[in-house]
Amino acid sequence: MNTLASSPSFEARAASWITPAEIGLLGAVWGASFLFMRVAAPEFGAAALVDVRLLLGAAVLLPFLWKARAQFPLRIWPKLALIGAINSAVPFVLFAWAAQRSPAGVGAICNSMTVLFTALVGVLFFSEKISFRRVIALLVGFAGAVVLASGKTEGASIGWAVAAGTGAAILYGIGINLVRRHVTGLPPAAVAAATLSISALLLMPFAIAQWPDHAISTKAWGAAAALGVMCTGFAFVFYYRLIARVGPARAATTTYLVPLFAVLWAWMLLGEAVTGTMLAAGALILGSVAFSQRAK
């Protein structure tokens, strides 16, 4: 038996680098999701791409739902359907729609406002209290969204794409609050499988109606498959395992990394320019999120 590998000091040293490495890897994977949407959305269209994404992501997670099926009585499925629509189907479509009209980094920067909107929705609709720190963070975050919406790429305005991405972040904020109140205690991976599956079924008629008449390239199919299997299915499993080990607060630091990786991947692989407006908006939004999360 290797006594070094089993010693507490070795395990502590391993944990000290494994967790940051996993957080970084998850940020890189979720950052890549905006790259894959940018590649696949123009050929699939928003609804068709998202339905493929949901079906593939659900397929990866279904074993978790099957294992926990006794904990999901019929009465809870309407709530899961509502959460699935708000937390998956509609925001995914909004981000895919935005990906057809703006650089990958724009959607990722908008996505980072989810933390702020979660707090705002809790105050407006669920009687939660908000600190002065978070009020300031919300105002700064909104200012960042306005700066981002004012920008242009290749001479075209990206205002509507920013509006779609911001709308998706608002829906995520609502969805997170609903999850906290209606499915707490259920296995998270099983809940994700259920909501993704229902979302895929809800969106399927729209995907069929809008399925493209032209042939879809292998490149677009590959991006859609990576988006569903890697960025949705496996990423959820990875994220929940991380939460179980280090807690939700530390796991949520991936929020800061997603826009950085999204911009990096798009610059390296698609040649998309990083504009001054994107840098300024990203600094405002990510700074506000970090400020709101900092411990007193």
- Tokens for 63, please give them: 């074993």
For residues 144 and 282, is the Cβ–Cβ distance under 8 A?
yes
Residue 78: phi and psi, rounded to 5, are: -60, -40
Would the pLDDT of 6 be above 50? no
> Does the pLDDT value for residue 248 go beyond 90?
no
Predicted local distance difference test score (pLDDT) of residue 256: 78
pTM: 0.86
Q: What is the DSSP string of 260-278?
A: HHHHHHIIIII-----HHH
The pLDDT of residue 1 is 46
- Give me the mean pLDDT over the 132-138 stretch: 82
pLDDT in tens, 47-79: 999 999 999 999 999 999 999 999 999 999 999
Lowest-confidence segment of 126-135, 159-168, 237-246, 248-257 by average pLDDT: 248-257
The string of pLDDT tens digits covering residues 216-225 is 999 999 999 9
Who has greater pLDDT, 27 or 242? 27
Is it the case that residue 130 has pLDDT exceeding 60? yes
Please tell me the distance from the alpha carbon of residue 152 to that of residue 162, in angstroms, as a whole number: 11
Question: Quick one: pLDDT band at residue 4, thresholds 50, 70, 90?
Answer: very low
Look at residue 224 in the predicted model and tell me its pLDDT: 97
Using a pLDDT cut of 90, give the percent of the chain over it: 45
Helix (H, G, I), strand (E, B) or coil at 201: helix
Ramachandran assignment for 128, one of left (phi > 0), alpha (psi -120 to 50 degrees), beta (any other): beta
